Structure 1
Amino acid sequence: MSFDPTGLVAYVNGEYKPAGEASVSIFDHGFLYGDGVFEGMRLFDGGLFRAELHMERLARSARTIGIRLPVETDEVLEIIGEVVRRSELRDAHVRPLITRGFGGPGIDPRLCPEPSLVVSAYPFPPFLGADPIKLFTSAIVRKAPRSLGAHVKSCNYLDAIVAKQQAGELGVHDAMMLDSLGAVAECTGANLFIVVGETLVTPTTRAALPGITRRTVLEIAAEEGIEAVERDVWPMELHAADGAFVCGSGAGVVPIGSFDGRPVTYPNHPLVERIQEAYRAKTRDAAYRTELYAAV
């Protein structure tokens, strides 16, 4: 699948440029070492979903690894709006990215006097589709919490990339990753829930990103009177799950059809469909949106 940036605009360190021409130095530490943080945000019909939470997480990630924000988060949102409008997008994936900046060879962060800020936006249908997906359990361990905290959405996704590569070679949609204890962590780019009876169960964030969509699902459960539990989930539990789904900004809410070749009891479980519908409603609720276009 090829990507065509024609007509899109990106922001790089103070300048708006055609996205196909936008670039950073080969000596930027984000490029050299993956030394940076980012957010993956969704634009639905001109409205940015849960922008404040994404900006809070971006700032928290940067603070954790000691990168100074080049501008305040309010200005990041203004830049996002300008990128979206100049690109004439109404439904898109939006990616603000902050790196350690230009510094030359050597991993010492002190080599980089100024961080870099890059913002891009592009059409992006849910990357796992809408039908029930197939997962397998990867041997690649999710690198947390004794390395980098799972709450940091860093530019280094190599563990997830290798697990995703394995999934592709096996002909399944995605990989499920375990933590250092052997408990379920998350998928390569999405959080995971299972249905046990009438209860939603999701892994802790010990080794899983505290996803904005995950948080939204837990809020929906509370509002709908659905019991939801955060606890350690062990791989064998998945084979007995009544239903299951993954969720994330880039995926939405997608049912799981099988784990390691074993079918989920109800791939289209009514509780999963209920969560999907409630999530779609949230994305259109003015209370959760930052509108990027003036009302006509």
Structure 2
Amino acid sequence: MPLTQSELSVAIDGELRTGRDAALSVWDHGFLYGDGCFEGLRLFDGRFFRFADHLARLQRSLRILGIAHEVDVQATYDVVCRVVAANELTDAHVRIIVTRGQGTPGIDPRVCPSPSVVVMAYPMPPLLGTDPVDLVVSSVRRKAPGSVDAQVKSLNYLDSVLAKQQANAAGAHDAVMLDDAHCVSEATGANLFVVRDGVLRTPTTRSALPGITRRTVLELAEAAGRRTDVVDLTVGDLYTADECFLTGSGAGIVPVGSVDGRRLPASRPVTEWVTGAYGAATRGSELTVPADGTHRF
């Protein structure tokens, strides 16, 4: 029987604790102000997928936010392996969180002497399932690039939460968010692709997170000789797409069935190819959770 949330082990600043005992200070600026960032990566059949790429993106987020924490790949790998092993997981979602740390009230980051680092690992099926999903276009705009840079996977997801509420109210599975130029950005927690005439098109990362799964799909397509295009997309491009799908570490590859009630074609040959190629890529991951207690990256 899977462990409950209270039974799952969590690492806080490198120390393992059970979920029921894991806690950060209420004065932590990650809690008070959403001041921090995180990464979510996958463990497939005991193998991590693109571990180093996720840590590199975490380091970029930290540098943009000015949080003084250098990501040590080997040390982070050690902690992640300890958490995964403690929870007896072979398939999991791993979340690495770095906050500004504990400080006094007020948003001045100088009052936080050292960051807090949390590592979690838990079972999680694809967030949106595997069946085609229905999307609506949200009125909530992505703030980037005029506010927080889209490269930052920050702890503040309020714009996504508000857009998700609109999707829920409309009876849809998720929402598409636009940027200030009225171009497609992404879904509430996943990147987006459309297919037209066999070409895979995805929005720029001007206002969308540069997703690791998004990058993987582009690399797989290009290696297979399939045409790709990173370009501004409009809502009309969604309505008239031959196919559409979402990508993300938490979501995987998710086919889209409709946008704003407009049904997309039921035939999805490119999406099916992407799903198969991505599945093969995840099974080929080389970085494993060691069984002998030695953790060498």
Contact residue 51 and residue 289 of structure 1 kept, 8 A: no
Give the Cα–Cα distance (whole angstroms) in 2 for the partners of residues 14 and 206 of structure 1: 35
Give 1:283 shift: 0.3
Deviations 1:123-163 (A, max 9, x none): 00001000000000000001100111101000000000111
Corresponding residue number in structure 1 for 2:295: none
Contact residue 55 and residue 71 of structure 2 kept, 8 A: no
Aligned sequence identity (%)? 51
2:101 counterpart letter in structure 1: G
Instruction: Report the secondary structure of 2:226's partner residue.
Output: coil
Contact residue 150 and residue 207 of structure 2 kept, 8 A: yes
Corresponding residue number in structure 1 for 2:129: 129
Corresponding residue number in structure 1 for 2:211: 211
Give the Cα–Cα distance (whole angstroms) in 2 for the partners of residues 20 and 199 of structure 1: 49
Corresponding residue number in structure 1 for 2:277: 278
Corresponding residue number in structure 2 for 1:156: 156
Give 1:71 shift: 5.3
Give the TM-score, by structure 2 length. Answer: 0.95
Corresponding residue number in structure 1 for 2:242: 242
Deviations 1:34-87 (A, max 9, x none): 000100111111111100000000000001110012652321121111100011
Give the Cα–Cα distance (whole angstroms) in 1 for the partners of residues 227 and 257 of structure 2: 22
Contact residue 59 and residue 73 of structure 1 kept, 8 A: no
Instruction: Report the secondary structure of 1:98's partner residue.
Output: strand
Give the Cα–Cα distance (whole angstroms) in 1 for the partners of residues 126 and 95 of structure 2: 15
Query: Relative to structure 1, is the Cα distance of residues 280 and 71 closer, same or farther in structure 2, using a 3 angstrom cutoff?
Result: closer
Corresponding residue number in structure 1 for 2:91: 91
Query: Relative to structure 1, is the Cα distance of residues 110 and 213 closer, same or farther in structure 2, using a 3 angstrom cutoff?
Result: same
Give the Cα–Cα distance (whole angstroms) in 1 for the partners of residues 30 and 212 of structure 2: 24
Contact residue 100 and residue 116 of structure 1 kept, 8 A: yes
Deviations 1:146-188 (A, max 9, x none): 1111010000000001111111121110000000100000000
Give the TM-score, by structure 1 length. Answer: 0.96
1:261 aligned onto 2:258:
no
Give 1:6 shift: 4.0
Give the Cα–Cα distance (whole angstroms) in 1 for the partners of residues 194 and 71 of structure 2: 39
Give the Cα–Cα distance (whole angstroms) in 2 for the partners of residues 32 and 289 of structure 1: 39
Corresponding residue number in structure 2 for 1:165: 165
Give the Cα–Cα distance (whole angstroms) in 1 for the partners of residues 202 and 69 of structure 2: 32
Give the Cα–Cα distance (whole angstroms) in 1 for the partners of residues 274 and 140 of structure 2: 30
Instruction: Report the secondary structure of 2:265's partner residue.
Output: coil
Corresponding residue number in structure 2 for 1:290: 287
Greater CA drift, 8-17 or 136-145: 8-17
Extract unaligned runs of 5+ from structure 1: none
Corresponding residue number in structure 1 for 2:15: 15
Give the Cα–Cα distance (whole angstroms) in 1 for the partners of residues 286 and 241 of structure 2: 33
1:25-174 aligned at under 5 Å gives the runs 25-69=25-69, 72-174=72-174
Give the Cα–Cα distance (whole angstroms) in 1 for the partners of residues 232 and 82 of structure 2: 42
Contact residue 283 and residue 289 of structure 1 kept, 8 A: no
Give the Cα–Cα distance (whole angstroms) in 1 for the partners of residues 14 and 117 of structure 2: 8
Give 1:223 shift: 1.2
Contact residue 194 and residue 202 of structure 1 kept, 8 A: yes
Give the Cα–Cα distance (whole angstroms) in 2 for the partners of residues 5 and 26 of structure 1: 20
Contact residue 10 and residue 83 of structure 2 kept, 8 A: yes
Aligned residues: 291
